[in-house]
Amino acid sequence: MTILKERPGLDHRLGASAELVTRRLDELLPEAAGPRGRVIEAMRYSALSGGKRLRPFLVIESARLFGLSEEAALNTAAAVEMIHCYSLIHDDLPAMDDSDLRRGHPTVHVRFDDATAVLAGDGLLTEAFAVLADLKTHGDAAVRCELIAGLAKASGAAGMVGGQMIDLSPERDRLDLTGITNLQELKTGALIAFSCKAGAILAQAGQAERQSLRDYAGKLGLAFQIVDDLLDSESTPEALGKPTGQDQAAGKATFVGQLGVAGARDMASGLVDQARRCLDIFGDRASILSQTATFVLERTR
Amino acid sequence: MTILKERPGLDHRLGASAELVTRRLDELLPEAAGPRGRVIEAMRYSALSGGKRLRPFLVIESARLFGLSEEAALNTAAAVEMIHCYSLIHDDLPAMDDSDLRRGHPTVHVRFDDATAVLAGDGLLTEAFAVLADLKTHGDAAVRCELIAGLAKASGAAGMVGGQMIDLSPERDRLDLTGITNLQELKTGALIAFSCKAGAILAQAGQAERQSLRDYAGKLGLAFQIVDDLLDSESTPEALGKPTGQDQAAGKATFVGQLGVAGARDMASGLVDQARRCLDIFGDRASILSQTATFVLERTR
């Protein structure tokens, strides 16, 4: 409760933004009807199942930093969340991490089946680009192309897909701190960084501001992953809404394994301080993004 | 050999175009290096493994119809082939069609593993949009957005993904001719139609010309699928480079099952005649696309 009092603005914004994003996802995804209805049902099951909606929040708040409205950023935010959901569906597959629980619900392949889960992930991945390419909504075509190129880079073999490949590799267990950091930058950092970058692209912000946001996002993404490791090692499936202790059980090298609990917490805390300082050039306008860094550190799920 | 003599221009063009497309795919895909190299190796294994390259050929020849060079259409052609390859990798997975052989080689999940195959498909799907969004290459941004929106529609839940979902559904075995035709339109027709449409988009062609190409592509796609059914029922894995008789063994309704071999061949032949007539407004310029329709009918793999 102390935390809530320390950032009254943030908690309200996070909740309101999550609701907006969920509503927009509901509008953007087709209705589950007809013989292909099952895959759409699975796409909706994944995308509308809650979650923190941190990435779309970062899109919206980064855009707001440059004076853009929520509405101007909402489709881009929804597209980023579609990519995040697709990656969760595929990562949870038996052939990958074989997870049964996600956001407190059975994973897509458990609730449906493996084939539907593969297709639902493919469908969400594809739909994200369809949303970004839609010229009927706000933004000129060159901006849209920059968003699409950026999102593809963050999520493809040079980003998330590459990171997941490393995460599954035989070398995974033996990674040192540099190796884990590199893995994190690809697997989770790239999409978090793009979420912040997207606001700057939408606003066609200048280079100095983009660089500051990029630095912020880099620190934030790394802190996010370290906290993920801490929660995986210290929380419960009930509190977290997904299995815990999996990395340790699989013998994977983690930040906690390398640094210990106290060391990992110190590193995350230091990164969050650095992230906040990257926002100095924006002054008070960046108050919400600054509080978001604290939220990432103190989150319990 | 008779066939070869009847379309000397086409066979040369098909071969030359396939080589160009393969070379461009080789240039566009990243090098398989570093710890994430395995997924890139799998992406390259799939994309550079040959195949007829019919879809990229349709992109190039449709663009040529409006006076565009091969070079102007080549990246779009390569992006379409990436989408085709991704769909083959995922369709072949054990959770889907469980196929061991593709284009005469072990499928990606056999040569690598299931997880790598899921990721390689994801990577190719993502890379296709990265290629189309790249403004450093030919085409203005609005054209690129139209290409991306069209490709996403053809390959997502309203197209290929939706078609594959129907193909895996329990109702699949009981489809009538209308049902099979609808399935085909989604699963294979949409991407073939987009391949032709892409040339018109690149050239910013007028509505009448677009409509004629769309009609051509619709007939061609359906004929292509009927011939696929004929080859599945009458050819051998050695000649075809992939397993045969699978649809029949799985009890799936097919054009051949509904119409018999002679009836299916008649229908395909009629569709090809109709497809060729759709090209009348283009006169001699459409000679290659017209011959392509005949090729689709007479192909043996």
Residue A148 region, left (φ>0) first, then alpha (ψ -120 to 50), else beta? alpha
> Counting every residue, how long is chain A?
301
Residue A64: name the closest of A76, A72, A75, A56 by CA.
Answer: A72
Closest CA of chain B from A112, distance in Å: 12
Q: If you measure CA to CA, which chain B residue comes closest to A135?
A: B145
B157 reaches A (C-beta below 8 A)? yes
Quote the DSSP letter at residue B301.
-
Q: What are phi and psi of B114, to 5 degrees?
A: -60, -45
CB B203 within 8 A of CB B67: yes
Mean pLDDT of A46-65: 95
CB contact under 8 A, B133 and A149: yes
* Interface probe with A: pick from B165, B171, B175, B182, most Cβ of A within 10 Å: B165
CB contact under 8 A, A157 and B130: no
Closest CA of chain B from A211, distance in Å: 21
- Give the model's pLDDT for residue B263: 96
Choose the CATH number for A2-211 among 2.160.10.10, 2.170.150.20, 3.40.640.10, 1.10.600.10. 1.10.600.10
Interface of B with A in 94-133 (CB under 8 A): 95-96, 113-116, 118-119, 121-123, 125-127, 129-130, 132-133
Per the listing, tokens 């069209």 go with B150
Cα distance between residue B70 and residue B60, in whole Å: 6
Q: Is residue B246 within a helix (H) or strand (E), and if so which, with residue range? A: helix B246-249
> Band of the pLDDT at A3, cuts 50, 70, 90?
very low
Give me A197's structure tokens.
């970058």
Option in B141, B156, B166 nearest A130 (CB) = B156
Which residues, at least 6 apart from A93, have a Cβ–Cβ distance to it below 8 Å?
A109, A114, A117, A118, B115, B118
The number of angstroms, rounded, from the C-alpha of A53 to the middle of its chain's C-alpha atoms is: 7
> Band of the pLDDT at A138, cuts 50, 70, 90?
low
CB contact under 8 A, A39 and B95: no
Share of chain A above pLDDT 90, in %: 81
Choose the CATH number for B2-298 among 1.20.1260.10, 1.10.600.10, 1.20.140.10, 1.20.1630.10. 1.10.600.10
Option in B30, B156, B171 nearest A35 (CB) = B171
> Counting every residue, how long is chain B?
301
Closest CA of chain B from A238, distance in Å: 28
Q: If you measure CA to CA, which chain A residue comes closest to B172?
A: A35
* Interface probe with B: pick from A38, A82, A129, A131, most Cβ of B within 10 Å: A129
Mean pLDDT of A59-65: 97
CB neighbours of residue B181 within 10 Å: 16
Give me A148's structure tokens.
């699409």
pLDDT digits (tens, 9 = 90+) for B101-149: 998 899 999 999 999 999 999 999 999 999 999 977 766 899 999 999 9
Closest CA of chain A from B150, distance in Å: 8
CB contact under 8 A, A152 and B168: no
> Band of the pLDDT at A7, cuts 50, 70, 90?
low
Which residues, at least 6 apart from A177, have a Cβ–Cβ distance to it below 8 Å?
A255, A258, A259
* Interface probe with B: pick from A75, A97, A122, most Cβ of B within 10 Å: A122
Can you spell out the DSSP letters for chain A?
A: -HHHHH-HHHHHHHHHHHHHHHHHHHHHSPP--STTHHHHHHHHHHHTS----HHHHHHHHHHHHTT--HHHHHHHHHHHHHHHHHHHHHHHSTTTT---EETTEE-HHHHS-HHHHHHHHHHHHHHHHHHHH-TTSSS-HHHHHHHHHHHHHHHSTTTHHHHHHHHTSGGGGG--HHHHHHHHIIIIIHHHHHHHHHHHHHTT--HHHHHHHHHHHHHHHHHHHHHHHHHHHHS-HHHHSS--SHHHHTT---HHHHHHHHHHHHHHHHHHHHHHHHTGGGGGGGHHHHHHHHHHHH---
CB contact under 8 A, A134 and B125: no
Q: If you measure CA to CA, which chain A residue comes closest to B97?
A: A115
Closest CA of chain B from A155, distance in Å: 7
> Band of the pLDDT at A260, cuts 50, 70, 90?
very high
Mean pLDDT of A61-75: 95
Mean pLDDT of B225-233: 92
Q: Is residue B102 within a helix (H) or strand (E), and if so which, with residue range? A: strand B101-102
Mean pLDDT of B43-50: 95
Residue B219: name the closest of B176, B279, B160 by CA.
Answer: B279
Burial class of residue A171 in the structure, from the number of CB atoms within 10 Å of its CB (0-12 exposed, 13-18 middle, 19+ buried): exposed
Range with lowest mean pLDDT among A30-39, B141-150, B189-198: A30-39
A212 pLDDT higher than 50: yes
B16 reaches A (C-beta below 8 A)? no
Cα distance between residue A88 and residue A124, in whole Å: 11
Q: Which residues pair with B106 in a beta bridge?
A: B101
Cα distance between residue A28 and residue A31, in whole Å: 9
Range with lowest mean pLDDT among A29-38, A73-82, B36-45: A29-38
CB A97 within 8 A of CB A246: yes
> Band of the pLDDT at A1, cuts 50, 70, 90?
very low
Q: Is residue B106 within a helix (H) or strand (E), and if so which, with residue range? A: strand B105-106
In one letter, which amino acid is B184? Answer: Q
Cα distance between residue A40 and residue B216, in whole Å: 30
A134 reaches B (C-beta below 8 A)? yes
CB contact under 8 A, A152 and B43: no
CB contact under 8 A, A156 and B121: no
Provide the b/e sequence for A211-228 (b: ≥16 CB within 10 Å): ebbebbbbbbbbbbbbbb
Can you spell out the DSSP letters for B27-85?
A: HHSPP--STTHHHHHHHHHHHTS----HHHHHHHHHHHHTT--HHHHHHHHHHHHHHHH
A32 reaches B (C-beta below 8 A)? no
What are the C-alpha distances in Å from B289 to residues B53, B282, B295? 14, 10, 10
Enumerate the residues of chain B whose CB falls inside 8 A of the CB of residue A253. Answer: none
Option in B142, B152, B169 nearest A35 (CB) = B169
Closest CA of chain B from A86, distance in Å: 10
CB contact under 8 A, A163 and B123: no
Interface of A with B in 242-301 (CB under 8 A): none
> Band of the pLDDT at B34, cuts 50, 70, 90?
confident
Closest CA of chain A from B11, distance in Å: 34
CB neighbours of residue B250 within 10 Å: 11
CB contact under 8 A, B122 and A121: yes
What are the C-alpha distances in Å from A230 to residues A233, A234, A240, A260, A300? 5, 6, 12, 9, 10
CB neighbours of residue B255 within 10 Å: 27
Give me A234's structure tokens.
């210290």
Option in A118, A126, A134 nearest B93 (CB) = A118
The number of angstroms, rounded, from the C-alpha of A43 to the middle of its chain's C-alpha atoms is: 17
Enumerate the residues of chain B whose CB falls inside 8 A of the CB of residue A134. Answer: 145, 149
CB B291 within 8 A of CB B14: no
A5 pLDDT higher than 60: no
- Give the model's pLDDT for residue A193: 96
Q: Which residues pair with B105 in a beta bridge?
A: B102
A74 reaches B (C-beta below 8 A)? no
Q: Is the ipTM of this complex over 0.85?
A: yes
